[in-house]
């Protein structure tokens, strides 16, 4: 089940105005070297996530003089909960980081909101709660990318493969899940982690006198043209330094990779491998992994060649002492810059997860705008195509009508102009009139002055019809006439 880690600087976290303060720090190994703490009672914080459960971690300053602030937690509209810090503290004297402030129960997969409310507390107390980061469970890798976070993998989770005598050691509450894998004593051991993304980081617990010899080496994509090699130099004597970052590589090509961790255990005190962080980051530089975020307080300057695999010299400082190691780097990506140490060992090329989210949101806006523009262009193309087809059809129809009209004109033009005389219409009387029994208006007659020629016409004779005759009387006397439709004239 993927686990996501979200820094306190993520822009999706909503802090109540005027009641919180943020501080960049590297003193107690806070994640991404930052945290938020409440400055007055009534401070609230809300974070919406997609998954099944969530944890909140931070740093507890000790010893406590006036008690810890009273804090309550709530998931969605479920009952409000309080959290007891004491089970997560190693002692009540020393300041401790990566302490579990709250852990929710498991819910169904989906969108949930964690609400944090800070109650009354004495601002003069030394028992301050510094909120550092979230870890939520049950999310997909796409959910983690959308949230602007990175993947979190504990040393005891599925994924890492150990060879060479590693042992799982328990009992340290400052370590994630209260345990870590300890390196083989007096021999070398390897751990291989397959991962996806553009960056990978390794965190461990240091406890012993390591001198100046390198204690670990790291290879990303061994045997490929993108191979990256790192070493972590010995920091001298260290007394129980938790959450020390041994490796930080950014700028890889997004995709599947393999990380090989080698514990250089000969004549070196053992150390404990705690967890890995990897995923898609907007960082383009490649750190040497010995600086920011580690309690060892190591800073470094790096000269990196991007054209050929050449050795490089890494100069590191710890506690005023100078260490020099040689690393081999294969070409990876272009435009790799050398990190500059700021804020007590935090290199300037390190960016917060919140900046990753902002960068990802800007890229998403560009992608969405491009998709919408493509859809709009497609719709306009379809409308233009339909208009052209319709216009073509109308043009064909008009052409057909014009062709028909031209054919009619041709027929008329081919007709003879002299058709000869029109045959006369025979009649018995002049004028040929029809009866109108119900009105006294004059009856229509054929114009005798028409241009129809009636010369040399024999007189008409009427044949006997089918027995139907019409009788009518006028000033000339009685008449009988056949209806026109029953008349049969012959010459």
Per-residue pLDDT reduced to its tens digit, 368-405: 888 888 898 889 888 888 888 887 777 666 666 666 66
The residue ranges of DSSP E strands in 177-304, in sequence order, are 179-182, 189-209, 216-220, 228-232, 237-263, 272-279, 299-301
Closest C-alpha among 247, 9, 208, 35 to residue 128: 35
Beta bridge mates, 261:
191, 218
Kindly give the pairing relationship between strand 489-490 and strand 179-182.
unpaired
Tell whether 326 is covered by a domain. Answer: yes
Residues 350 and 303: beta-carbon distance below 8 Å: no
- Is residue 466 domain-resident? no
Number of structural domains the chain divides into: 2
Q: How confident is the model at residue 239 (pLDDT cuts 50, 70, 90)?
A: confident
Indicate if 6 and 67 belong to the same structural domain. yes
Two tokens, residue 286 = 């490649």
The CATH number of residue 10's host domain is 2.60.120.260
Of 95, 125, 148, which one is at a domain's C-terminal end? 148
177 with 100, same domain: the answer is: no
Task: Pick 292 or 243 by higher pLDDT.
Answer: 243
Pick the range with the lowest mean pLDDT from 51-65, 146-160, 183-197, 406-420.
406-420
183 and 127 share one domain: no
Q: Would you put residue 165 in left (φ > 0), alpha (ψ -120 to 50) or beta?
A: left
Lowest mean pLDDT among 94-103, 187-196, 249-258, 482-491: 482-491
User: Looking at the domain assignment, is residue 404 inside a domain?
Assistant: no
How high is the mean pLDDT of the chain? 74
CA-wise closest residue to 192 among 162, 168, 222: 162
pLDDT score of 174? 81
Assess contact for 312 and 338: CB atoms under 8 A: no
Residue 374 placed within a domain:
no
Please check whether residues 58 and 170 belong to one and the same domain: no
Range of 269's domain? 152-346
H or E segment at 361? helix 353-414
- Confidence class for position 334, pLDDT limits 50, 70, 90: very low
- Establish if 29 belongs to a structural domain: yes
> Would you list the DSSP string of 425-487?
---SSSS-----TT--SPPP---TTSS---TTPPPPEEPP-SS--EEEEETTEEEEE--GGG-
> Of 320, 346, 372, which residue is a domain's last?
346
- Residues 468, 258: Cα–Cα separation, whole Å: 117
In this model, does residue 442 exceed pLDDT 60? Answer: no
- Do 188 and 264 lie in one domain? The reply is yes
| Whether pLDDT at 304 is above 50 | no
Looking at the structure, tell me whether residues 197 and 58 fall in a common domain: no
Predicted pLDDT of residue 484: 56
User: How many Å apart are CA 322 and CA 352, to the nearest integer?
Assistant: 29
Q: Same domain for 144 and 161? A: no
Last residue of a domain, one of 290, 312, 346: 346
Reported as type and span, the H/E element at residue 488 is none
Q: Dihedral of CA 158/160/161/167: which sign?
A: negative
Same-domain pairing of 83 and 178 = no
pLDDT single digits (tens) 257-291: 999 999 987 778 899 999 999 999 865 444 433 33
Residue 261 domain-assigned (yes or no): yes
Q: Which residue has the higher pLDDT, 294 or 151?
A: 151
- Over residues 418-440, the mean pLDDT reads 52
The token pair at 190 is 């390897």
Is residue 204 packed enough to be buried (19+ CB in 10 Å), middle (13-18) or exposed (0-12)?
A: buried
Q: What is the pLDDT of residues 98-108, one digit of tens each?
A: 899 999 999 99
Residue 319 belongs to some domain of the structure:
yes
| Amino acid 420: pLDDT | 56
Worst-scoring range by mean pLDDT, 56-70, 104-118, 346-360, 435-449?
A: 346-360
180-193 per-residue burial string, b: 16 or more CB within 10 A, e: under 16? bbbbbeeebbbbbb
For 41, 198, 232, 350, the CA distances from 252, given in Å and listed in that order, are 44, 4, 20, 15
Bigger pLDDT: 77 or 343?
77
468: in domain = no
> Do 173 and 143 reside in the same domain of the chain?
no
What was the pLDDT predicted at 376?
87
Q: What global pTM score does this model have? A: 0.57
Closest CA to 467 of 478, 483, 479: 483
Token pair 């929710």 is found at 104
Please determine, for residue 71, whether its predicted confidence score (pLDDT) is greater than 90: yes
178 and 284 both lie in a single domain: yes
Residues of the chain above pLDDT 70, percent: 64
Tell me the C-alpha distance between 34 and 24, whole Å: 4
Residue 16 gets which letter from DSSP? Answer: P
Residue 274: which of 261, 290, 283 has the closest Cα?
A: 261
| Domain co-membership, 217 together with 266 | yes
Q: Please state, in angstroms and rounded to a whole number, the distance separating the CA atoms of residues 290 and 205.
A: 14
Instruction: Judge contact between 83 and 102, C-beta under 8 A.
Output: yes
Comparing C-alpha atoms, which of 133, 176, 202 is closest to residue 353?
Answer: 133
Tell me the β-bridge partners of 477.
474
Residues 82 and 156 in one domain: no
């Amino acid at each position: 089940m993927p686990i996501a880690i979200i820094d306190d600087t993520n822009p999706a976290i909503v802090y109540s105005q005027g009641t919180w303060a943020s501080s960049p720090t590297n003193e107690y190994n806070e994640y991404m070297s930052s945290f938020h703490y409440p400055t007055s009672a009534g401070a609230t914080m809300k974070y919406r996530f997609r998954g099944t459960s969530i944890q909140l971690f931070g740093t507890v300053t000790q010893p406590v003089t006036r008690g810890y602030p009273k804090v309550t937690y709530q998931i969605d509209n479920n009952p409000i909960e309080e959290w007891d810090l004491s089970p997560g503290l190693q002692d009540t004297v020393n300041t401790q980081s990566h302490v579990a402030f709250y852990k929710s129960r498991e819910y169904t997969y989906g969108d949930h909101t964690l609400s944090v409310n800070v109650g009354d507390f004495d601002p003069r107390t030394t028992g301050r709660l510094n909120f550092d980061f979230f870890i939520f469970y049950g999310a997909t890798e796409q959910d983690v990318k959308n949230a602007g976070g990175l993947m979190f993998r504990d040393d005891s989770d599925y994924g890492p493969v150990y060879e060479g005598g590693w042992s799982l050691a328990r009992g340290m509450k400052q370590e994630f899940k209260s345990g870590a894998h300890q390196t083989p004593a007096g021999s070398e051991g390897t751990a291989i982690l397959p991962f996806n993304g553009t960056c990978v980081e390794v965190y461990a617990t240091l406890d012993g006198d390591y001198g100046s010899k390198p204690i670990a080496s790291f290879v990303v994509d061994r045997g490929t043209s993108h191979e990256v090699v790192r070493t972590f130099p010995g920091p001298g004597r260290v007394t129980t330094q938790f959450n020390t970052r041994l490796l930080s590589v950014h700028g890889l090509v997004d995709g599947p990779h393999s990380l090989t961790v080698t514990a250089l255990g000969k004549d070196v005190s053992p150390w404990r491998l705690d967890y890995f962080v990897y995923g898609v980051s907007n960082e383009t530089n490649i750190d040497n992994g010995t600086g920011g975020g580690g309690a060892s307080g190591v800073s470094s300057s790096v000269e990196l060649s991007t054209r050929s695999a050449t050795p490089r010299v890494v100069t590191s400082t710890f506690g005023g002492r100078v260490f020099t190691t040689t690393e081999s780097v294969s070409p990876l990506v272009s435009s790799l810059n050398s990190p500059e140490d700021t804020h007590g060992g935090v290199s300037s090329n390190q960016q917060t997860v919140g900046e990753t989210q902002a960068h990802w949101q800007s890229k998403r806006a560009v992608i969405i705008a491009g998709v919408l523009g493509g859809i709009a262009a497609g719709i306009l193309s379809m409308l233009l195509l339909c208009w052209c087809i319709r216009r073509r059809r109308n043009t064909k129809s008009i052409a057909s009508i014009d062709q028909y009209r031209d054919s009619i004109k041709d027929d008329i033009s081919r007709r003879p102009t002299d058709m000869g005389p029109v045959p006369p219409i025979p009649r018995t009387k002049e004028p040929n009139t029809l009866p109108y029994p119900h009105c006294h208006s004059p009856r229509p007659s054929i114009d005798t002055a028409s241009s129809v020629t009636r010369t040399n016409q024999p007189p008409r004779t009427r044949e006997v019809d089918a027995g139907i005759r019409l009788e009518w009387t006028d000033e000339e006397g009685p008449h009988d006439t056949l209806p026109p439709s029953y008349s049969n004239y012959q010459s």
